[in-house]
Structure 1
Amino acid sequence: MGKKSKPLDGAVPNMPIASAVERKDTIAMQSILLQALPVARSVEDVVIETTSGKAFTGGRSTPVYKVSGTVRKENGTAVRRSFVVKWVRLPDDKSEKTMTRRESYAVERRFYENAAIQERLRNAALTIPKVLASDRGSSFCILMNDLTANYPRHPDRMSLPEAAGALRWIATFHACFWGDSFPHVLWDRGAFWTQTCSVQGIAVAWVATHQFIESKYSQYVTSRTRTVGHRLQTAGPAIAHFLTEYAHNRNYRTVIHGDYKAANLFFDAENAAAIDFQYAGGGVGAEDVAYLIYPDAFGDWFGHEEMLLQIYHETLVTQLVLQRKGGPSTLPFETFLKFYELARLDMTRHWLCQGWIASTEGEAKLVGALERALDEIDGGSVLFNGDDDYKAALHRFVFGS
């Protein structure tokens, strides 16, 4: 019996796209592109470049390759086109973290490949990457069109018109899936911060945030600011459960992006396009909104918050009417606003568990907003009668009765 042949240096078993970019094999990539592009008669002058990933995926940890080539059509016309290969090498272990990551990339692949999802997005004229080919191996590797060809701007910090465009995009996206969740394709519960509901250490972590705000921005401190950490640690599980309950309620649920931030958005002069749907799944639309305009090191949106929330809500209602899924009474603005405030509390719960400490004036303003929301829920102190009290309080907070 003859010996098995060894793979060529840089070759990845059963993964031709990954092998081509790893080896910078332009001949192999030329063949892959020719098969992936039905209109192409030939593909010439292929170039493969390694990038940090940030320009295409929003993070430096994911290797991304930019591929370009001259595509010649059957009628003889030729055009230079660019493509992106996203290749994620996953550890070969069974840890919870690795298994969650592995499932997140499986969700992303299914999102791009599901015909019903893609049809809804096309009908709504929403731009996302088109997967042209993918490897089915031990790691995640897909070949996509390059969004920067038509959406060249990819800012760290969105301008106000870009933030408004991003909110119109996500409102239209939410309307496309209103009442649905695609549980067998996407996450049953979307958003990366909902994957766990830990509240451990929040009260202790809050001490540093309180000290910072008290020393730098005391105008945002009240007599109850010190207690916010303990109160959020106590209310956190009930808030997370409440949002999950309505993420499964046909009257309020939709598919959320689950990681909707500037790093996952591209812009042209007027419109947005989105990428990275690893944590897409069932949720409440306000969760994507809260994450998009959550304050960070680049700044905050408190000076324009009401206007931006109105833009999202008006677009959502308009799209629900156009798609014959509802109207103004489907989600009144006041109800949406309360879901938004709850989503922001839930997100802060997650960040505090990850060691977050307020360090900017925008985050000091956030603390004030969190405190006011908690005051309305618990009256300024922990509700000692347990989950039933919090459930009733949260229902009153959102619906007013």
Structure 2
Amino acid sequence: KKVNVSGAKVPHPVAIVCTKGKREFYLEDLDVKYPKNLYSFSVAQCRTVLTWMARYHAHFWGADAAEKESSSEKKEHQGLWAQGGYWYLDTRREELQSTGRGSGWRQVVAWADVIDQRLKNTAFPTIIHGDPKCANIVFSKDEKECALYDFQYAGRAPGAKDLAYLFVTSCNDDCYKHEEDLLKHYHLELKTALLKRGDALAAKGAQSYTMEALVEEFEWSILDFLRFLAGWGSWGNVRWAASRSRQRLAD
């Protein structure tokens, strides 16, 4: 299905060929308008990606309620994961059990189920990309626009999970110094996109999803990804993630 997300570029399908149980997807070439692939994002580049995320999340905002009310919305969400991302706890129990509770990860391991339930029971569901690392993001020449691809882990979750994953895996140190400003930028872009969407569900989200709610879900999402790293192995800026996680656990 071709999905048009206002202000958030995704590769459109050109053709889908099915032969003898094999399915091939042919997508447009993003390299034409988005030729730059970067391996660590500056503050400005991170802001560009957060603008994309805000508009994408706004498009699918309130996925649960929309599915109950609209058959067209339900069709748009068909084939997506009930839980977005690849690191959620239900798929990582074995890894978690192999993580020693006496290790430096003990607090995160002990809180794993609480963290998981907190994110599952979000009051602000959307459809997340699920794997928004730098390898899956391309930029225009002036770096003022970006596009994302590889949607194999797209599914329901709070949008903050995409943000936490981006910060841990793909941002340079300057981004952490500007964390508050970057989150405020995302929040403003999200609210703008929700109001532009124009329906009652989006308007309610624009009003109820406060900056405080975003920061709280962002911190829970960092904890969740750190729990994944505890079992899977270190990747990205684990030191920053651990520092941010200690703040949430202390609360």
Q: Which runs of 5+ in 1 are unaligned?
A: 1-112, 208-225, 377-401
Specify the SS of the correspondent of 2:37.
Answer: coil
Is 1:203 aligned to 2:203, yes or no? no
The percentage of counterpart residues that share the same residue type is 28
Match of 1:141 among 24, 27, 43: 24
1:189 matches 2:189: no
Q: CA RMSD in A?
A: 2.2
Counterpart-to-counterpart distance in 1, 2:226 and 2:87:
10
Alpha-carbon distance in structure 2 between the residues aligned to 1:299 and 1:140: 38
Give 1:344's aligned residue: 222
Query: Is 1:186–1:280's contact at 8 Å kept on the other side of the alignment?
Result: yes
More helix by share: 2
- Tell me: CA distance 1:355–1:365, structure 2 relative to 1, closer, same or farther (3 Å): closer
TM-superposed CA distance for 1:185, in Å, is 2.6
Partner Cα separation in structure 1 for residue 156 and residue 51 of structure 2 = 19
Kept in 2: contact 1:202–1:232 (CA 8 A): no
Contact 2:226 2:238 in 1 (8 A): no
* Alpha-carbon distance in 1 for matches of 2:213, 2:231: 28
What do the CA deviations read for 1:241-269 (whole angstroms, capped 9, x no partner)?
Answer: 221122xx4xx111111111211111112
* Partner of residue 131, structure 1: 13
CA distance in 2, matches of 1:309, 1:157: 18
Alignment of 1:197-276 (within 5 A): 197-198=92-93, 199-203=96-100, 207=103, 226=104, 229-246=105-122, 249=123, 252-268=124-140, 269=142, 270-276=144-150
Q: Compare CA radii of gyration and give the structure with the larger one.
A: 1
TM-score (norm 1): 0.53
Change (3 A) 1:200 1:263: same
Alignment: residue pair count: 229
The residue aligned with 1:292 is: 166
Contact 1:295–1:366 under 8 Å retained in 2: no
Q: Relative contact order (alpha carbons < 8 A, sep ≥ 6): 1 or 2 greater?
A: 2
Distance 1:125 1:133, change over 3 A: same
2-structure distance, mates of 1:186, 1:309: 26
Seen in structure 2, the aligned counterparts of structure 1 residues 154 and 287 have a Cα distance that, compared at 3 Å, is same
| TM-score, scaled relative to structure 2 | 0.83
Cα gap change, 1:370 to 1:132, in 2 (>3 Å): same
Aligned to 2:68: none
Return the alpha-carbon distance in structure 1 between the equivalents of residues 232 and 238 of structure 2. Answer: 16
